[in-house]
Amino acid sequence: MNNEKGRGGEFLAGFIVGGLVGAAIALILAPAPGEETRARLRERGIELKGRAEELSEEARKRAEEARKRAEELAEEARKRAETLAEEARKRAEELEEKGRITLEEQKSRLQEAVEEGKKTAAQKKNELLAKLEAEKARS
């Protein structure tokens, strides 16, 4: 950005110098008495100096406006990035909590299934032992 300001300043300076040189050459080459030519040169120089100052001030104001706008955009981008980061952090926490709850629920269901399996196995064992005892008693 500073490089662009430098180029703009160089262009403006070249433009002004070119204008002054062109005006001076035009007045010198124009057929007029010496005193009149010098007076024209002075007037034209004063006009061009005033115009150069106006252009310089305008360029300075535009550069300042551009700098302020760039700062505003940077601040907006920083705030947006902070907001997005906070939203992502909250979402990650929510997902972590949901995952933890789901894991606990699955663990509880698995434990219940294991206990139910143990009860069923014990029950079947007792039934088989009872049948075996009944068979032995008949024999």
Mean pLDDT by 10 residues, the chain (139 residues): 57 75 70 71 83 86 93 97 97 96 95 94 92 85
CA pair distance 69, 77, nearest whole angstrom: 12
Q: What span, in angstroms and rounded, lies between the C-alpha atoms of 53 and 61?
A: 12
Taken in order 11, 17, 21, 24, is the CA torsion positive or negative?
positive
- Give the domain range for residue 43: 2-138
User: How many domains would you assign to the chain?
Assistant: 1
Give the pLDDT confidence score for residue 33 in this predicted structure. 67
Per-residue pLDDT, 49: 83
Token pair belonging to 96: 């972590």
Residue 54: per-residue pLDDT: 87
Cα–Cα nearest to 16, from 50, 64, 63, 61:
50
Predicted pLDDT of residue 1: 47
What local confidence, expressed as pLDDT, does residue 6 receive? 53
